[in-house]
Structure formats: structure tokens, C-alpha cells
Amino acid sequence: EVQLVESGGGLVQPGGSLRLSCAASGFTFSSYWMHWVRQAPGKGLVWVSLINSDGSTTSYADSVKGRFTISRDNAKNTLYLQMHTLRAEDTAVYYCARVISFSCFDPWGQGSLVTVSS
Amino acid sequence: QSALTQPASVSGSPGQSITISCTGTSSDVGGYNYVSWYQQHPGKAPKVMIYDVNKRPSGVSNRFSGSKSGNTASLTISGLQAEDEADYYCSSYRSGNTYVFGTGTKVTVL
């Protein structure tokens, strides 16, 4: 079964850092592009970042550029999102998703809640 | 990076058809055939229903269909069922190797 499981979320103070992980199983992780998407409480989906299959290409939404870094370890079948200088507006559930056929995000993980508050 | 525009809510009776629009620009929806649609039930992760404008993943009901004209994409749900009540989001590739989601539409089955 294809599965993505996020971890690493929690409560962090403004200005702090956090690293999310997304463990992949049931497919050849190293063959797929991956994305991070977030959803603030009661709000819509917002694209955050992407990384290609070997990690050589990354892209970020303007709102996180320079503060967040996406990476992957294909030997460990794990995707990461390192988040620095966190702000209250970064509070959200963070989902990782596999990319199929460029525009198809499937499947999605269950999400990891990040709360930025003092 | 502004979101794609969707109606806040759409409703219909069981058995009816409804259509959700998703309006962008020539830099996203209008410029590429990389539009997808996601269904999200409360407290759950999103699920892809349509990708590449009009392709349906294996296992998704053929009551769901997608199309695009100019800068506007559309998702049609025919034969509306109670289980279709959920939030729906469109997404598109946007020039500059980025992606953008729509504002989301709450579908209510009356």
C-alpha cells in the first residue's frame, strides 16, 4: 500500500525552527517528485514547496522562500521540510504529497500540525 | 501569489448535476493543461478526483468530470450523492515552477 506519514509537528514560539518529516512506503520513493502543501485552521490549501526525484531541483512559495528548505533522503525514503524564523501565519496542518503526471498529487499524508504561538 | 478563484459554495439536490468553476490567468490555468481537482472531507486529507484537466484516476467515479476553457477550469459532478458533500479545491501549475490552489468550494447536498 502506498503510504505517506508526516511527523515532527508541534508547538513552537515565533522565530523558532522545526523540521517536518514525511516517511514514504509502498512505492519507489526515489522515482517521484514530492510536494509540501499546508492548510491553516479553517482555511484553504496552499502550495508550499516541491522537490524533484533526485533533490537537484526545488521551488518555494514566496511566503516561505528564504525561511523553509525542502530536502529528501532517498536512501531513507524520507522527505523533509526544515522551517526557520516561524511566524504565527505559518500555523497550519502540513501535508506531504507524491506527484504523478505533473499535476496529480496522490496520495497525501495525514498531515502534521504546526502551531506557532508564544 | 494569488489563489485561483472558486465560488465559496455550490449546492444541489441528490441526482442533480453541479459545476464548480476555477478561474486563473494565462500564467496558470490558461497556459497549461495541468489543472487538478481535490475533494476534502472534514478532518481528512485531500483526495485527487481529476488531473491534467480531464483525467480521472483509477477508482474515482465517472460522475466526476473536468474541462477547461481559456483561463477557467470546471469540475462537474453528475448524479449528485450525499457522499459528495465536501470541500473541493482546484490546483494548477503556474509558470516559474510553482503551483497554486483555488480558494475552495463547499458543496452541499440538499
Question: What digits encode the pLDDT tens for the residues A87-116?
Answer: 999 999 999 999 998 889 999 999 999 999
How far CA B88 is from CA of A61, A78, B107, in Å, comes to 21, 28, 7
Average pLDDT of the residues in B83-101: 96
Mutate: best of A103, A108, A113, partner B, most B CBs <10 A: A103
SS3 content of chain A, % helix, strand, coil (to 5): 5, 55, 40
Chain B nearest CA to A15, separation (Å): 23
Checking if the pLDDT of B37 tops 90, the result is yes
Q: Judge: A46–B98 Cβ closer than 8 Å, yes or no.
A: no
Is B93 an 8 Å CB contact of chain A? yes
Partner A, chain B 20-59, Cβ-Cβ below 8 Å: 34-36, 38, 40, 45-48, 51-52, 55, 57
Average of per-residue pLDDT values in chain B: 97
Distance in Å, alpha carbon of A84 to nearest chain B alpha carbon: 21
Partner-chain contact A104 B36, CB within 8 Å: yes
pLDDT score of A101 = 85
pLDDT score, position A102: 85
The answer on pLDDT for A62 being more than 90 is yes
**Following DSSP, what letter does each residue of A10-49 receive, concatenated?**
EEE-TT--EEEEEEEESS-GGGS-EEEEEE-TTS-EEEEE
Q: Check CB contact of A33 with chain B, cutoff 8 Å.
A: no
Distance CA A82, CA B109 (A): 40
**Is it the case that residue B1 has pLDDT exceeding 80?**
no
Chain A residues touching B89 at Cβ < 8 A: 44-45
Mean pLDDT, rounded, for A25-33: 98
Span B22-32, average pLDDT: 97
Reported confidence tier of residue B22, pLDDT bands at 50, 70, 90:
very high
B88 lies within 8 A of chain A by CB: no
How far apart CA B87 and CA B26 sit, in angstroms, is: 25
Residue of chain B minimizing CA distance to A52: B97
Cell numbers representing residue B67 in the block: 474541462
Confidence of residue B107 (pLDDT cuts 50, 70, 90): very high
Which candidate, A30, A68, A78, places its Cα nearest to that of A52? Answer: A30
Distance of CA A8 to CAs A11, A44, A113, B23, Å?
10, 22, 9, 35
